[in-house]
Structure 1
Amino acid sequence: MAMRHHDLTDPAAAETAGPVTGEALAGYLRAQATEFLRALRLHRETGGWGNGAEGSADAARALRRSARRITGSLHTYRPLLDADWSEEIRPELAWLSGTLAMEHAYEARLERLLTALQRLSGATPVPARSESLPGATATAHTTLATGARTTGTARAPRTTATAPATPATTATATTATTTASAPPGTPAHPTAPPDRGNLTVGAAKAGALLERQLTLARTRAHSTALQALGSSRFHAVADKVALLASEVPLTAGAATTDLRPLAAAAEERLTDAVAALPLVTAGHPYNAEALVHGLSPEPAPHPQDAPWHQVRLLLRLHRYAREVLHAGPEPVEVRLLQAGQALDRHRDASEAAAAAAQAARTPRIAPATAYALGVLHADQRHEVEAARYAFQRCWQKDRKERAGTG
């Protein structure tokens, strides 16, 4: 188990620091509620997402940010809050935050996959993708298509496959090119992808297929977000947050209750979850066993990813608990920052790999397209392992340093 860091949740620090009571929690929640209302006003002033204004996107991010912090604080410090009120508003804020995050997630996933296809196929760099209104017809990726036209390799056959190829059958050839001797903490990118010509041909069609699927998903997410922001459910949430900005429903004894034991419990849950991770396996730059599971043709989520996603959630709750204790901007802790970045990369690569696998299951796609998607899937699973390795090095290094100084 990782050692506890010396902050306001540490007993040694508690002897010199004064008690942090429910008043600090109330002030933090009021501040976040005010940020929520400010972002909502900005969203209305910019005309909403329908006009594609940059200010509306910033407002949506601010809404998500404040909603996440309120939700996390209500979860960690729920013994100090009115139980009925907390259980009523917390799932509603989680619904709002998740709904607003989907469009950006699909956009970032598409950008990640197209960039990986360029790197794997050796295509020329693609200029910045122009922003189009949601719902616009997706077109094939021009650079990848150009690479397919200019390559000397024959085009992919027009005959269709009798069954959709899966990453398990198409990506095995890529594992031999993994740079297992890469410097610690760096993604295991293939230095010489196999059969570059065929991969370039398939990458053009794979990029077009991914763009169609993810652009459609992004458009639907955009419509869902617009409907949510105009619904009575959202207005009820906004009314509750407006009341929160002026009055926080604390329990009778919250004004004299110290918050640090609850924050310490959140940290303990994080360290327990990290201790349950296979950090020994993740300590190797190349985790062949995980990649074998990652190439499974089953559409179910990767069985090894769920515990890492849970650690990412617990790390976020721990950070928010620290923000309440500091009653202001939290001092940057390098370990938490690096660990959070590694887990964010892990989540992004895992979801990108799942999107590539889903595209590879599309019926009647050309063999070259399925091959490119399989290579892309394997590449993103390598990125997953690289993120786990980076997290392991960051977490274990801090633990050893603290053990040495202790």
Structure 2
Amino acid sequence: MKTILILNGTVINENQILEQDIFVKDGKINKIDNDLSSLSADIVIDASGKYVMPGMIDDQVHFREPGNLNKGSIKSEATAAVVGGVTSFFDMPNNNPPIVKNSQMDQKFSIAEQSSICNYAFYLGATNDNVEEIKNLRKDACGVKIFMGASTGNMLVDNLKTLEEIFIHSPALIATHCEDTPMINENLKKYQEKYGEDIPIEFHAEIGSREACIKSSSLATDLAKSFGSRLHVLHITTHDELKLFSNAEIDQKKITAEACIHHLLFHDADYKHYGSLIKCNPSIKYKKDMECLRDAVNSNIIDAIATDHAPHELSEKKGPYAKITNGIPYIQYALRSLLELHHDGVFTLEKIIEKVCHGPAKCYGVIDRGYIREGYWADITIFEFQDAKKDPAEVLHKCGWSPMSETEYRTKIDSTIVSGNLSYSKGKLVNTEQSGMKVEFSRDY
């Protein structure tokens, strides 16, 4: 493995911004100092005028493999992730077939080992009848995913007794998608009675309503409190839900919360411009919700920020409302989209790195990743500011599109280092024969 020397960079790490050099050897960060220019290395990166951060850890993606290769694959989406500055992803279990047995995860790990240039981890999915699988959860699973609201893959868990058993017995973090499906179905029925099949897309926030989210998130947090479970509630979308969570340090609480970038960027008025391209579950809601989510990031009520990258073919995002698929593909643009909010004065650079690197690492008990520290794996992203311009590169998501591809970005990803391999540099993929690594977890929550 080649050695790498990063010189003259501005390092953002652990709430500090410092001018530091970094030496990478055997895949790990070997030395950090103010001046390492006397060292020699196989690869020397002059990061003058650029920022150096730990690689982003995306704790919620849907890469669609196995089962839906028309939408995405581990190889294609992992490649797009690395180009976007993401160095680790945690992939959801709503594949075809769903990953609801420990043995089924072998296939995903095998595919990733052979084809992913990004580090990887996978969830086991919960169902109404696989509590024994959850009790015997394999050590290399990042967590147990419960769809408490219906989503792609028909994995809704709606039996209260089953939910209690999962919250009692899960040996690892429980990650929940919280929406009340009966409430959403009733909302949909009302709008179908009024509009037939031609429901205007701007009513998606009313159908996937705030009340549906609050009811389900309240149930999840109540269960976690009752049984002392380690709970991570994904993609919070309403200001009301934020009252369920604490702004204590992650290691001082057992219930944590995540927000997704699209819920921090968009609100209901954006349906007029993007239409069904931003139709997702939970729905993008209102301006007040978006603003409160932003405040919750800054006040540490939100512990991690992710993408919920969910590719669909463009044709699936057209047609009658009820038949339009839910999900937004944008991992290639995610970090830059979030950094736009820094340029707009919403988040500091330190806060962004805290939520996309340190936060996920702490929440999931990630071993030796998520920070720039000596002895840690060298997952490093280098970026620089620029005048606002569209990204000229092709969309690498297998579905071939993203609502974020036309944005004029004030940030450019310069280089991405994954487990000590320089995988992307100066607009080009390099070392594509090198695979990412399996992310390891301590479960020391």
- Same fold flag (TM > 0.5): no
Interval of TM-score (by shorter of Structure 1 and Structure 2): under 0.3
Q: Greater strand percent: which structure?
A: 2
TM-score computed with the length of structure 2 as normaliser? 0.22
Q: Greater helix percent: which structure?
A: 1
Higher Cα radius of gyration: 1
